[in-house]
Chain A
Amino acid sequence: MDEITQARIVETPEDLEELLTAHPDYDVQLESLNQRQLAWRRFKRHRMALIGSTMFLGMVLIGIIGPQLLPFDKNSYIPLDQVSQNGRPPMVSPYFHPFGETTQLQYDVLTLVVNGIGLSLLISVGATFIATIIGTIVGGVSGYFGGWLDTILMRIVDAMLAMPLIYLILVFSEFLGNGSASWFTIMLIFALLGWLQTARLVRSLILSLREEDYVDAARVAGVGRLRIIFRHLLPNALSPIIVAATLSIAGFITAEAFVSFVGYGISATTPTLGNILEGAQQAIGQGNWWWAVFPGLAIVAIVLGINFMGDGLQDALDPRAKI
Chain B
Amino acid sequence: MIRYIIRRLIGAIPTLFVISIMIYGFVLLAPGGPTARFAMNARMTAESKAAIIHKWGLDQPVPIQYCRWVGICNPDGTGAGMFVTKQGLPYFLPSALGGGDNGVLHLDLGISSSTGVPVAEVIGDRFPRTLMLAGVALVVWLSLALLFGVISAVKRYSKIDGAITVFNYVAYSFPTFWLGLLLIIIFAATLGWLPAGGMWDVKLDPNPNFVFGSSEYWTFFGQHPLATILDLVKHLILPVATLVAVSVAGDSRFIRASMIDALRQDFVRTARAKGVPERRVIFRHALRNALLPVVTNIGLELPFLFTGAIATETVFSWPGMGQQFITAIGQYDYPVVMGISVITAVLVVGANLLADIVYAIVDPRISYG
Contacts and interface: CB of A to CB of B under 8 A. Distances in A.
B29 A175 contact: yes
Nearest to A158: B15
B369 interface: no
Interface of B is mostly: helix
Contacts of B17: 159
Given A175-B26, A264-B330, A307-B169, A280 B175 contact: no
Interface string B113-131: 0000000000000000000
B329 A174 contact: yes
A155 B15 contact: yes
B29 A264 contact: no
Interface string B148-187: 0000000000000000000001101111111001101100
A229 B16 CA distance: 32
Give the bracket for the number of chain B residues in contact with chain A. 35 or more
A289 B173 contact: no
Contact-residue bracket for chain A = 35 or more
Contact of B325 (A156, A167, A299): A167
Given A156-B18, A284-B181, A304-B169, A174 B330 contact: yes
A303 interface: yes
B206 interface: no
A254 B246 CA distance: 13
A299 B341 CA distance: 28
A170 B15 contact: no
Interface string B296-320: 0000000100110011001100000
A163 B337 contact: no
A160 interface: yes
Given A167-B341, A174-B329, A289-B185, A307 B172 contact: yes
A18 B177 CA distance: 55
Given A156-B18, A300-B170, A164 B190 contact: no
A65 interface: no
A257 B173 CA distance: 13
A262 B306 CA distance: 16
Nearest to B303: A164
Given A159-B15, A175-B30, A250-B173, A299 B178 contact: yes
Contacts of A129: none
21 contacts: A155-B15, A159-B18, A162-B348, A162-B352, A163-B19, A175-B26, A175-B29, A179-B330, A250-B173, A258-B176, A263-B330, A264-B330, A277-B177, A277-B178, A284-B181, A284-B185, A287-B189, A296-B175, A296-B182, A300-B174, A308-B169
Interface of B: 14-19, 22-23, 26, 29-31, 169-170, 172-178, 181-182, 184-185, 189-190, 196, 303, 306-307, 310-311, 314-315, 325-326, 329-330, 332, 337, 341, 344-345, 348-349, 352
Given A174-B330, A257-B177, 16 more contacts: A162-B349, A164-B310, A164-B348, A165-B307, A170-B326, A170-B329, A175-B29, A176-B29, A261-B314, A264-B326, A284-B185, A289-B190, A296-B182, A300-B175, A307-B169, A308-B169
